[in-house]
Structure 1
Amino acid sequence: MALDVVDLRSFYASPLGHVARRTVGRVMLRLWPDCRRQRLLGLGYATPYLPLLGGEAERVIAFMPAAQGVVNWPSPGLSASALVEPTLLPLPTASIDRVLLVHALEETESPEDLLEEISRVLSPGGRLIVVVPNRRGLWARMDTTPFGHGRPFSRSQIEALMRRAMFSPEHWAEALYVPPLRRRLFMRSAMAWEKVGAGLSLPFAGVYVIDATKQFYRRAPLRATRRSFAFRPVLLPQAHPSSRLPRQDEAKMPAG
């Protein structure tokens, strides 16, 4: 069952949601420190992170899956959010420079179709940040947060999936080493958990944060190849002597 947008909004309004936004957001800013003059699309439920990245972007829009629901964003001013079918985005081809994919890939029934559609709307050389639950992490094993819903991924699974969709993972990062418990002790020490986990490369981070580039290949034209033809004599069939027809003068001779 897909996550509801009301539950997602309630989570990010909670203290644990603030910890997740701050922790994952720091990783995103390290990967994309500058989005000036970029057309930025947030797909899934990316609105908690879009203000961190899109402050100086040329344009920022938020698309939310139909199965999830949509909320007005940003709250002041004109809305930049819309309800869409994730595999049929209402955008022209190569019209977006960067895509932020959060709470979407693990929820969709067809991850490959989703990534292929994102590749379509991305410009050549466009970049994509994907945030997915780590199947070995504690956050994927507890359904008290949005990261505990849907399908978690291993590193090899997400890498193979992205390469099949013509994306080249450039940078890998992990976040949310802190246990997903709503206790003040853990939430106050969240940054310490992140430093220790990242420094020791511990395997139980809550999410993977991948920065990938859209691959662009130019098809090489096919060269015409010369073929040599060997002409061989054709053997014509010959009639058997017994079946040879009489010549015209033989036919006129009387029988003796």
Structure 2
Amino acid sequence: MRADVQHLRDFYDSPLGRVTRRLVRRRLRQMWPDVHGLSLLGLGYATPYLRAFRAEATRVLAAMPPEQGVMAWPRGEPNLVVLGQENALPLPDRALDRVLLVHALEGSDNVRGLMRECWRVLADDGRLLVVVPSRTGIWARLERTPFGLGRPYSPGQLSQLLTDSLFTPLRTERALFLPPNAWRPTLASGPALEQVGRRWFATLGGVLLAEATKQIYRPVNGLKAARRHYVVLPQPLRRQSLEDAPHRPALHR
């Protein structure tokens, strides 16, 4: 199940959504601290997190799938959002240095196609950062937020998907340790809960953030060089050899 664009926008305009954006964006900036001179694409509904990169990156774009719907972004400025199929983005090969997936993977009906397209549009040294609901977190169990929709992932599942899609996983982090409710004291203590959660309750984080680099050549593991087996074929007897062979009398019963 995929969240529609209006639901996503309403969530990020809410008090809980604003705290969510701030906490996740902080982790994103820690993982990508320097994007000077780079081109960056946000795929899915990544616009709440792209503003943090606009001051540094050379180019920042967003793409939203038609199944989700599209909204212009940024507000009050020239639009930087394109409508594009997850497996057919309107971008040339190797056009981007960074791709950020948010509210994309967990709701996709074509995960393999989505990952192939991310690989295609990334430069040879490009990096991918995926944000998905954590299977062991509270947020994936409640549908009151967009992170409660779609398929949650475990770190192992996400790492395997990246590897199968020709990416090399680099690291996986967690965020959103506060409970998904709009209670004001909870929202106010969000940063403190993040610190405590990361140190003592890592598996309870609501989202996983996995970074990977594009893999150009897939290594072949577990294959041994084939051993050659030689078979000695019998040589036919020459006619002369048959004539020279000693005569043996036939046996009679």
Pair in the same fold by TM > 0.5: yes
Q: Give the deviation of 1:105 after TM superposition.
A: 0.2
User: Retained in 2: the 8 A contact 1:35–1:54?
Assistant: no
1:153-209 Cα distance to aligned partner (Å, 9 max, x none): 111111101110011121221000000011001101111110100111431110001
* Alignment partners' CA distance in 2, 1:154 and 1:123: 27
Q: Equivalent residue for 1:159?
A: 159
Aligned residue for 1:110?
A: 110
Secondary structure, counterpart of 1:62 in structure 2: strand
CA contact (8 A) 2:166 2:218 kept: no
Mapped contact 1:33–1:53 kept (Cα < 8 A): no
Question: Is 1:144 paired with 2:141?
Answer: no
User: Percent identity at matched positions?
Assistant: 46
Question: Could you say which residue in structure 2 is the equivalent of 1:34?
Answer: 34
In structure 2, what is the equivalent of residue 245 of structure 1?
none
Deviations 1:39-97 (A, max 9, x none): 10000000000011232211111000110000011123321101111011111111111
User: Unpaired runs of 5+ in structure 1?
Assistant: 221-227, 238-256
- List runs of 5+ in structure 2 lacking aligned partners: 221-229, 240-253
In 2, Cα distance between equivalents of 1:52 and 1:93: 25
SS in 2 for 1:89: coil
In the superposition, the TM-score normalised over structure 1's length comes to 0.84
Residues 219 and 199 of structure 1: is their aligned pair in 2 closer, same or farther, counting only changes over 3 Å? closer
Match of 1:240 in 2: none
Q: What SS does the corresponding residue of 1:106 show, helix, strand or coil?
A: helix
Kindly indicate whether residue 46 of structure 2 is the aligned counterpart of residue 46 of structure 1. yes
Q: Look up the match of 1:248.
A: none
The aligned runs of 1:195-206 (5 Å cut-off) are 195-206=195-206
Q: Contact 2:174–2:202 at 8 Å: present in 1 too?
A: no
Q: Secondary structure of 1:16's partner? A: helix
Q: Secondary structure at the match of 2:202?
A: coil
1:210 shift after superposition: 1.1
Deviation of 1:110 (Å): 2.3
- Does the CA contact (< 8 Å) of 1:32 and 1:53 recur in 2? no
Q: In the alignment, what sits opposite 2:242?
A: none
- Cα RMSD of the aligned pairs, angstroms, is 2.3
Distance (whole Å) between structure 1 residues aligned to residue 61 and residue 137 of structure 2: 30
Structure 1 residue 236 displacement after superposition = 9.0
What letter is aligned with 2:166? M
Q: CA-to-partner distance for each residue in 1:109-150, whole Å, 9 max, x for gaps?
A: 122221111001101110111000001111000100000000
Aligned to 2:194: 194
Query: Which one-letter code corresponds to 1:47 in the other structure?
Result: T
Distance (Å, rounded) in 1 between the aligned partners of 2:55 and 2:10: 24
Tell me the distance in 1 between the aligned counterparts of 2:131 and 2:197: 18
1:228-254 deviation digits (Å, cap 9, x = unpaired): 9x99866799xxxxxxxxxxxxxxxxx
2:227 corresponds in structure 1 to: none
Distance 1:71 1:132 in 2: 21
For 2:58, the aligned partner's letter is: E
Tell me, yes or no, if the aligned pair for 1:106 and 1:132 is still in contact at 8 Å.
Answer: yes
Q: In structure 2, how many angstroms separate the alpha carbons of the residues matched to 1:55 and 1:212?
A: 23
Question: Equivalents in 1 of 2:12, 2:72: separation in Å?
Answer: 15
Q: Could you say which structure has the larger radius of gyration?
A: 1
Amino acid at match of 2:124: P
User: For this pair of structures, how many residues does the alignment match?
Assistant: 232
